[in-house]
Amino acid sequence: MPALPLSDSRPSPAIADLFRRVRQDSVSLGKPLSDADATVQSMPDASPAKWHLAHTTWFFETMVLAPNVSDYRPFDQSFNYLFNSYYETVGERHPRPKRGMITRPDLATIFAYREHVDAAVEALLEQGAGEEISTLVELGCHHEQQHQELLLTDILHLFAQNPLRPAYKDPQPLAVGASEADPVQYKSFEGGIVEIGHDGQGFAFDSEGPRHRTLIEPFRLADRLVTNGEWMEFMADGGYRDPLLWLSAGWATILTEGWDRPFYWEERDGEHFTMTLRGAQPVDPAAPVTHVSYFEADAFATWAGRRLPSEAEWEHVAASCPMAGNFADSGHLRPRPAQNAAGAGEIRQMFGDVWEWTRSPFAPYPRFKPVEGAVGEYNGKFMCGQFVLRGGSCATPGGHIRPTYRNFFPPDARWQFSGLRLAEDA
């Protein structure tokens, strides 16, 4: 990666403040974990917490410090191999499914690594890094916030494999909401040519742009997310046993995997429980269903006589909604029931609680071009075989989300906080 020029003008203090806050937030997430908690890898798609803490540090060391600080000394040369994720242009890397075999360095060493890199980045910013370096630091902060959410979801998966069902935070049971959610309502939206995608003001990942026009037909969108109670009705009606509801690949998956309920659900004396970051908890019927795949979301929509929204429809509605919701900063760490609607058809829960599956594949927007250099491997190389999710979740850091934000996962992914909202043609 070519060196970026330094400038006599200092970057905005906001970048340095963002860097310090994000880096400290990650440390806070790692503090409740033992070295064993932070080392074990529970499945190939998940990564150990220690790896997340180190990889996000590797990003700053490799993308910011190494090319731009002539006298920078890496903390440990072997870390470039251990903690690279998928950047082929940077060099070879440890196989992803074997990240749990990295028993050393220990967690204390990883925290020392973070302190080493943090000091060097702050010194670089203080001496007057130019706009391009500030942009890279900002990208690194948002990249780290993505890994903060992944750290939480991966720890949840790990603890769910433990027969003791340990809690990441405050194991006491949480009060559930109302026994039933209020009836879902649908709000109508006119069709036409609309603009979606990031407008270039403020930060965004490359895949969020360019802003462009697209045609949507008239549609109606549910005013809230699908709830656990509604999912129980789907289960009771044989939703997991009816092949007519499922995409072919989805039906093959449930036959192979034996799916008959959302991920983490289990039955205890006739009552549904689910694993959460606060330990095993009773399923709240009024709260949004989560940990369901695209295949399950699509089958539920078919069962309900509706469909999933496209990402253009979702963004068109979200652009006029307040970006407030139940994010990780609330400390709740599980989806909350929708608040009572203030008016008929008011759209709720567009941000936070659960990532919402859309029917749209993760594909490049018109005129999309990856940025040059190693950071160009960030999103564009994954634009195949994935579906878009929108809105953030209860594990997403507050302030990290935007109406244009495009998350993406394969259609069988379930370990993230993924749920759904229904739509229908007008």
| Res. 13: pLDDT tops 80 | no
Other Cβ atoms within 10 Å of 406 Cβ, number: 22
Looking at residue 345, what is its pLDDT? Answer: 60
| Res. 3: pLDDT tops 50 | no
Q: How far apart are CA 155 and CA 396, in angstroms?
A: 14
Q: How far apart are CA 165 and CA 182, in angstroms?
A: 32
| Res. 149: pLDDT tops 80 | yes
Question: Is residue 91 very low, low, confident or very high in pLDDT (cuts 50, 70, 90)?
Answer: confident
pTM of the complete model beyond 0.85:
yes
Domain boundaries, the chain: 13-160, 186-425
Q: Mean pLDDT check: name the lowest of 75-79, 87-91, 137-141.
A: 87-91
CB 80 within 8 A of CB 112: no
How far are the Cα atoms of 129, 146, 305 from residue 114, in angstroms, in the given order? 20, 17, 51
Q: How far apart are CA 192 and CA 36, in angstroms?
A: 54
CB 11 within 8 A of CB 64: no
Question: Is residue 236 very low, low, confident or very high in pLDDT (cuts 50, 70, 90)?
Answer: very high
Q: What pLDDT, in 10s, does the model give residues 167-182?
A: 999 887 777 766 678 8
> Region 114-130: what's the mean pLDDT?
92
Share the mean pLDDT of the chain.
92
Which of 355, 319, 333, 328 has the alpha carbon at shortest distance from 225?
355
> Region 248-266: what's the mean pLDDT?
98
Strand partners, 273: 266, 282
Q: How far apart are CA 354 and CA 386, in angstroms?
A: 18
Looking at residue 381, what is its pLDDT? Answer: 80
Question: Given the structure tokens 């310090």, which residue do they identify?
Answer: 20
Q: How far apart are CA 146 and CA 345, in angstroms?
A: 32
Q: What pLDDT, in 10s, does the model give residues 360-419?
A: 999 999 999 887 766 655 677 888 999 999 999 999 999 899 999 999 999 999 999 999
Q: How far apart are CA 262 and CA 415, in angstroms?
A: 10
Strand partners, 268: 271
CATH topology of domain 186-425: paralog of FGE (formylglycine-generating enzyme) (3.90.1580)
Show the tokens assigned to 387.
Answer: 């579906």
Q: What pLDDT, in 10s, does the model give residues 340-359?
A: 766 656 899 999 999 999 99
